[in-house]
Amino acid sequence: MIAAPLLLTGCISLAPDVEVPAVTAEIPDTYTFASDSGEYTPAAWWTAYDDPVLNALVDTALVRNFDIAEAAARVEQARAQARIARSAIFPTLNATGNATSSSTPLVGSAFGGFGGGGIDRIENDTVSLSLGAAYELDLFGRVRNDLYAARADALATEFDFRTIRLATAAEVIAAYFDIVDTRRQLTLAEETADVLQDRADRTNERFERGLVQSFELYQVQQELRATQASVPQLQAALAVNEGRVAILLGTYRGNIAEQLDGDLRPQLVFEEVPTGIAAELLDQRPDVAAAWLRLEASRLRIGARRAERFPSLSLSASLGTQGDGIGSALNIVDNWAASLAANIVAPIIDGGRISANIRAARATYDANAAAYARSVVTAFTEVENALADYEQQRQRYILITAQLREAEASFDLQRRRYAAGVGSYITYLDALRNVRQVEASLSGAARATALARLGVHRALGGDWAPLAAQPILEMQPADVTAAGDAS
């Protein structure tokens, strides 16, 4: 990508040499928390969850999402701007047709009474046809530098499009897992409330018989009320998450209710994600690629602004005919006319405009260099953080799974003791409540693990599908003749 065919052809280029920020060369070879450095393959990674509902939601979002549509329009706009810049390297050819008819009185003029007074008006008809051509000789690379800068901007916009598409898919997946977890939490909260209601009723009976103190009764009742109060909160969160998905799909919540109806059970994935070597991140992350292309565009524009210091030479030519009617105008043999002109313009005094433009272009380059370096460091750090988070969430899920097995074993023991008449019903209810609480923790851990894996893929920046619409604008390979860095 660094050698992206953004370089100039033919003419001199006054753009400075390509300068790769030092932070790029200093990027570590491997990630600290990566144990699998195999090649990263970003093919639709969410399909590993084996959930057709999720797959359908992502596919729909990639087609109907408003942010993606807006980004696609910006791509078309940037492509058009590049084509506009490209037009400047070609000659212009214009066809002109002109017809005039005039009738002028002679009375009161120096020709009054001409011909003994027999002629009192002058009639004149003229028809002319011509072709005009003009071309600017791009001696110092101003036009071509601006052209390739525009193409670099267009490519950067396409990588912005990929960034938004990746972010949209990730947001849909995250919202989907939030829905799955919230529904599970809501079910468990309602079941826990039923258990606590039974527990509170039993405790109240024992309190009335003087077997327990009021403190124990109040404690159970407060826990019941807290669990009951969490139900409307979860219902509100569920509605919000479903609304998030609807917005991402470019529709209204009611239109996806049927799609989200039923039991949602995505399969968790615990395998490690092959990361590849860290240097590959520069090509994998679309935001990093976009930052590099904008840096290249600003470098080329320095050359374009420097070229404004030097003379510009343009050529123009015209060929046409003229007559007193369309017939004579088409008589090219007798009535042709031709012209050829050269024009040279050199700045002498401009009030500092050119120097200020060069300084502004250089400042833009420096700003983009800092932005690119930041994007590289940020991308690498996000991958390391995502890998670390994924490993910790997997370990947490394993531990809570073990905790659930122990809670279920305890509940099974209390159930059998109560059935045998040697255990209390309250102890049985406490063991059941504990199972529900651990199940709620496990559901949260499953969501966190899924989102952590999602974070790894998002940080690696894999773009799983080629760009739709038109192909990426072609860049011209070329040699660069740098004219120093004096501005």
> Cα-flanking dihedrals φ and ψ of residue 28, to 5°?
-60, 160
Are both 127 and 190 inside the same structural domain? no
Are both 116 and 186 inside the same structural domain? no
Identify the pLDDT of residue 478. Answer: 33
Cα 449-453-459 angle, rounded to 5 deg: 140
Are both 181 and 257 inside the same structural domain? yes
Is 9 among the domain residues? Answer: no
Identify the pLDDT of residue 472. Answer: 37
Rounded to 5, what percent of the chain is helix, strand, coil?
60, 10, 30
Sheet containing strand 121-137, edge to edge, reads 92-105, 121-137, 312-323, 336-345
Q: Which residues of the chain have pLDDT under 50?
A: 1-10, 467-487
CATH of the domain at 229: 1.20.1600.10
Are both 133 and 150 inside the same structural domain? no
DSSP lists the bridge partners of residue 323 as 127
Are both 440 and 334 inside the same structural domain? no
Write the CB contacts of 280 (distance below 8 Å, at least 6 apart in sequence): 40
Question: Percent of the chain beyond pLDDT 90?
Answer: 43
- What is the DSSP secondary-structure string of 182-210? HHHHHHHHHHHHHHHHHHHHHHHHHHHTT
Are both 46 and 173 inside the same structural domain? yes
Identify the pLDDT of residue 160. Answer: 93
Q: Are 3 and 148 in contact (CB under 8 A)?
A: no
Identify the pLDDT of residue 152. Answer: 93
Are both 336 and 358 inside the same structural domain? no
Identify the pLDDT of residue 109. Answer: 56
The DSSP call for residue 383 is H
CA distance 243 to 245: 5
Identify the pLDDT of residue 329. Answer: 64
Are both 261 and 305 inside the same structural domain? yes
pLDDT tens-digit readout, 294-316: 999 999 999 999 999 999 888 88
Is 15 among the domain residues? Answer: no
Is 174 among the domain residues? Answer: yes
Identify the pLDDT of residue 473. Answer: 39
At 121, list the tokens.
């008006």
At 257, list the tokens.
């209710």
CA distance 47 to 267: 10
CA distance 159 to 156: 5
CA distance 279 to 276: 8
Burial class (CB in 10 A: 0-12, 13-18, 19+), 258: exposed
Residue bearing tokens 């995250």: 174
Is 306 among the domain residues? Answer: yes
CA distance 464 to 460: 12
Is 202 among the domain residues? Answer: yes
Are both 129 and 96 inside the same structural domain? yes
Nearest to 230 by CA among 188, 199, 288, 260: 188
Is 478 among the domain residues? Answer: no
Could you tell me the end-to-end alpha-carbon distance of the chain, in angstroms, rounded to an integer?
Answer: 27
Are both 384 and 299 inside the same structural domain? yes
> Cα-flanking dihedrals φ and ψ of residue 267, to 5°?
-80, 130
CA distance 294 to 21: 14
CATH of the domain at 333: 2.20.200.10
Q: Which domain holds residue 438?
A: 22-89+138-311+346-460
Is 229 among the domain residues? Answer: yes
Are both 298 and 339 inside the same structural domain? no
> In total, how many domains does the chain have?
2
Cα 200-204-207 angle, rounded to 5 deg: 135
CA distance 26 to 19: 14
Are both 241 and 95 inside the same structural domain? no
Is 475 among the domain residues? Answer: no
Altogether, the residues listed in the chain come to a count of 487
Write the CB contacts of 421 (distance below 8 Å, at least 6 apart in sequence): none
